Each structure stands twice: as structure tokens, then as C-alpha cells.
Amino acid sequence: MIAILLLLFAALAAADPCPPITPDPALRPNFTIQAPAFAWNVDKVRGVTLGGWLVLEPWITPSLFASKPDWVVDEWTYAAYWRTQPCPAAELAAHWKSFYTAADFQRCGGAWDVTDGSIAGVGLNTVRIPIGYWSLVPLTSGEPYLPGAFEYLKLAVTWAAASNLKVIVDLYGAPGSQNGRDSSGRRGEAEFYSNWTNAERATAAVVALATEFAKPAYGGAVATIGLLHDPRPAAAWQLEWLRGYYNATYYAVRNVSAVTLLLGSAGPLGAWEGFMRPPAYQGVGISEPILPMLDPATLQYGATDALRYICGRNDTLARSSRNLWTVVEMSAASTDCARWLRGRGVGAAYDNASAVRYPASCADRSGSPGGFGAAYTATLGAGFETQTYVYEQAASGWTFCCWNTEAAADWSFALGLVYGWIPVPITAKPHGKPCNFSSFIEAGGSRAAVPGAGALAALAAAAAALLAL
């Protein structure tokens, strides 16, 4: 009977016309774990995000979306579309196999070489890798996602360990979506905050990451796990809810791992003062996105004011760093001109007279770097140098989105190196001393949104009541 079943399975396996979606075991590097490249939480993080790889974002890999119907706008709809096709995971697995490979992490078989054009070679020390809950915990009915990315994440962590790079694994997608953006897997409403089951599943996803990467085989390469990327609570109670999720997940992870945990900030940084601090909590940091091109007000700044704005963030970052270990999420891009940056089919604000007061042309502001003139290249360069200077001086460093993009050169670290708006070495300041201005533009210092302890206690009680159900 068993033999017949085995034969049946073998026949079924042989009959499967779809290519395998798991990575080839031969891609695992044969490495000896090296001494840590830098002292985590002490030296500065210089990182790049491997966006659009294990969580799809149409603006990073438009080729995966352009050939699909207009309603395919995020990983959820992408998977729903493919679920109706003969080999649902074939294209996605081909993308996982090719969009990032070991050679992006390090070339030249162990020799550091800035000319090799790899992440480790150019002097970066960290990769930030987005992952979605659907790759980590079982799906529930109605969720079309195509799992399998976790195997590629495990492989990438071995590449990092072999290249002396640290990894921040970041939960970009939580059940229900924490921000309604395509980078969360599902564009539309932010329903994460509507049901504590969503938080429990997100916690389970983070615990799955912490459990896996605590294994000695990874050599401690995963230095940090992000508990939730870019949460956008829309009301005070949702912010409390988010804090409850962070607290609960902290304790769940500490059961299995001492890994540093990174909170995704929401609202003004000052609102997090006093939250999850030592000695009660150990190894907690906060990630602050500073992406002025996404806000119509800061998007409109001229080249000099854009730099004065970055310098004006210095003191809130320094204050935050005294509270929690703080790392900034940044880009060199100075506009939102990248096609589909705000979502598939959604236009930029930069050139839209209905969205901003002083629209300007998006021509040669993103896409191919061939058309970027000297002045724009200098703007990107001065922006990169000023940001990295401020974020290393006032905070614990930065992660840059992204290492690679298909068609948005101003968001690509690799192209910035090739076309010269990112200097070699990456810490050089060819545009002169950053923040050499008589005054800065102060922003982000508001502390108005600090919720009271009473609200926090109410949340804990509400969460406990829900958990008890």
C-alpha cells in the first residue's frame, strides 16, 4: 500500500509541469563565519534595502506588473491573478532567483574591492531585507498570496554572513496592511488595526524569523528584526494598538532570541520618547523614514532648502538616539517622479498642478540616468552626502532604498555609484562640508502626540481582554 502511494507521489511529481520554486541548494555559499564587520549598535549602520525582491513593489520591478491587467497593483492582486494561471508561482520564483544573487552581496571571492560594484565591496555593512507575513505563517482562507520567499531570505542571510554584512530583516507586510501601501503587500485600506488576530499573526511571523535566524548556522548575521515597516495608524487608538503589538511581540521574541528589535516609527519621533526603554526592555531600536519627496510640502523645496531641511532634522534625531537606538530610512531621490512610486497607475505630485503649488517637469528626474544633467546629479550627490552625514552624526546610521531598481535610477545605490552621485568611498564629501548653512529648517520636533499613560493602560487592558476571548 505504502509502495503504491509512493509510486503515485513519484508519478505526480514527475507529471508536475511547473518549475521548482525552491532555491537550488548549490547556491548556499561554503563560508566560514567571519568576525563581525562592525560593532552592532555602536558603529554606524550603512545599509541598502533590497526592495522589490521578496515583497513586490510595482515601481521597483514594473516588468512584473506592466504585462498584467490594470487591477494587478500589489503582491495580493499579483498572486490573485497568477492563481488563475497554470503555474501560479513560476514567474515569482524566477524573480526570486534572479533579482538578487550572491554576486550583489560580494564579488571577487572574499577580497574587498570598491571597484567590484558589490554591496560589501563598496563599503556598505548592512542589507535590509523586506519580507511579508504571508511568507512566514500559514495563509487563511481568501488570502491569495504565493508563499516561498522565506527560503530565499534564508539563502540571502547566508550570502550576507559569507560577505561580512549584517542583515535587518524587516516585516514589510502585516495581515490587513499596516499602511494601505503596495509595499505592505496590499494597497487600499490599512486594516491591520481592526482585529487583534492580525497582530497575533504578525507576532507569529516575527517569532518565526527570530527562531530561524537564532540558529548558529547563520553566524548572527541577522542583527536586527524590524517589527513593522512604515505603520500608519490613523487615530490615537490605532497608535496605542500599535504600541500594544510592539510590546507583545517584544516579549514573544525574547522567549526565543536576544536579537535587536526595530520599531517602525509613526508620527513624530518625539512621541516614542520613553517607550520600551532599558532596563525593562533590552535591544530595542527605532526606524525613522525621512523621505521628503513623499510630502508635497517638502517636495517643493529648492536644492538648498532641501539640504537645510535635512540638517534641521539633526536635533530630533539626536534626542531620539538618547532614547532608543535610531536608524534612518533614506533615499537619494529628490522627487516622486519615479513611475508608479505612489502606486501603479498613480501619477507623481512633482509635476501635477493640482497636487503642488509650483509644479516642475519630471523629464530626466528619474528613469534612465543617461539624461540626468550635471546640476541634477550634483543635487542628488549633495543630498546623499548631507543625509548620510546627519544620520551618522545624530543617529546610528541609515539604510538607503534601494540597492537596485529596474527603472528608477534616482532610487538605485548601484547606479548612483556608476553615475557619480554617490561618491567613492561612500563616506567622501566632494560637495563640501555638509550643513554649512547659517540656519536650518526645523521640522519633525513636535511632541504633541505623546499619548498618556492612562491610554496605554487602557490599551493593555483591551488587548488582554481580546486575548482572553
Ligand X SMILES: *[C@@H]1O[C@H](CO)[C@@H](O)[C@H](O)[C@H]1NC(C)=O
Q: What CA–CA distance (Å, rounded) separates 67 from 91? A: 12
Nearest to 119 by CA among 98, 97, 100, 93: 100
Would you call 80 helix, strand, or coil by DSSP?
A: helix
Would you call 127 helix, strand, or coil by DSSP?
A: strand
Q: Based on CB atoms, which residue is closest to ligand X, 195 or 368?
A: 195
Chain position carrying cell 496605542: 240
Q: What CA–CA distance (Å, rounded) separates 125 from 387? A: 17
Site string for ligand X, 285-314 (x = CB under 6 A): --------------------------x--x
Judged by CB under 6 A, which of 80, 208, 252, 458 binds ligand X? Answer: 252
Which residue type sits at 58? P
Q: What is the DSSP letter of 313?
A: T
Judged by CB under 6 A, which of 23, 347, 423, 451 binds ligand X? Answer: 347
Question: Residue 247, interface with ligand X (CB under 6 A)?
Answer: yes
Helices (H), 180-256: 196-213, 236-254
Q: Which three cell numbers mark 135?
A: 511568507
Report in angstroms how near the CB of residue 9 gets to ligand X at its nearest. Answer: 27
Question: Residue 197, interface with ligand X (CB under 6 A)?
Answer: yes
Question: Residue 214, interface with ligand X (CB under 6 A)?
Answer: no
Judged by CB under 6 A, which of 318, 441, 443, 462 binds ligand X? Answer: 318
Q: Which three cell numbers mark 155?
A: 539563502
Name the closest residue to ligand X (Cβ).
347
Question: Residue 460, interface with ligand X (CB under 6 A)?
Answer: yes
Q: What CA–CA distance (Å, rounded) separates 219 from 365? A: 41
Find the part of the chain contacting ligand X (CB under 6 A) among 183-191, 216-224, 250-258, 404-412: 250-258
Q: Based on CB atoms, which residue is closest to ligand X, 87 or 214?
A: 214
CA Rg value for the chain = 22
CB atoms closer than 10 angstroms to residue 250: 20
Question: Residue 30, interface with ligand X (CB under 6 A)?
Answer: yes
Judged by CB under 6 A, which of 22, 195, 211, 446 binds ligand X? Answer: 195
Judged by CB under 6 A, which of 235, 255, 425, 468 binds ligand X? Answer: 255
CA atoms in the 13 A half-sphere facing the CB of 164: 19
CA atoms in the 13 A half-sphere facing the CB of 342: 14
**Could you give the maximum distance between any two Cα atoms of the chain, in Å?**
84
Q: What CA–CA distance (Å, rounded) separates 163 from 232? A: 34
Question: Residue 357, interface with ligand X (CB under 6 A)?
Answer: no
Question: Residue 208, interface with ligand X (CB under 6 A)?
Answer: no
Q: Which three cell numbers mark 274?
A: 520613553
Footprint of ligand X on 122-141 (CB under 6 A): none
Question: Residue 450, interface with ligand X (CB under 6 A)?
Answer: no
Q: Based on CB atoms, which residue is closest to ligand X, 90 or 143?
A: 143
Judged by CB under 6 A, which of 220, 377, 393, 458 binds ligand X? Answer: 393
Judged by CB under 6 A, which of 394, 402, 407, 415 binds ligand X? Answer: 394
User: Strands 222-226, 45-49: parallel, antiparallel or unpaired by DSSP?
Assistant: unpaired
Judged by CB under 6 A, which of 3, 5, 26, 39 binds ligand X? Answer: 26
Nearest to 307 by CA among 428, 413, 425, 390: 390
Q: Based on CB atoms, which residue is closest to ligand X, 98 or 255?
A: 255
- Answer whether 393's CB lies under 8 Å from 314's CB: yes
Q: What CA–CA distance (Å, rounded) separates 184 from 351? A: 26
Chain position carrying cell 516561498: 148
Question: Residue 436, interface with ligand X (CB under 6 A)?
Answer: yes
Question: Residue 435, interface with ligand X (CB under 6 A)?
Answer: yes
Question: Residue 354, interface with ligand X (CB under 6 A)?
Answer: yes
Question: Residue 456, interface with ligand X (CB under 6 A)?
Answer: yes
Q: What CA–CA distance (Å, rounded) separates 327 from 79? A: 32
Total interface residues for ligand X by CB under 6 A: 26
Judged by CB under 6 A, which of 355, 441, 443, 455 binds ligand X? Answer: 355
Q: Based on CB atoms, which residue is closest to ligand X, 128 or 308?
A: 308
Judged by CB under 6 A, which of 304, 352, 361, 446 binds ligand X? Answer: 352
Q: What CA–CA distance (Å, rounded) separates 426 from 122? A: 7
Which residue type sits at 10? A
Report in angstroms how near the CB of residue 389 gets to ligand X at its nearest. Answer: 8
Question: Residue 87, interface with ligand X (CB under 6 A)?
Answer: no
Judged by CB under 6 A, which of 115, 251, 274, 465 binds ligand X? Answer: 251
Report in angstroms how near the CB of residue 102 gets to ligand X at its nearest. Answer: 7
Binding site for ligand X (CB under 6 A): 26, 29-30, 195, 197, 244, 247-248, 251-252, 255, 311, 314, 318, 347, 352, 354-355, 393-394, 432-433, 435-436, 456, 460
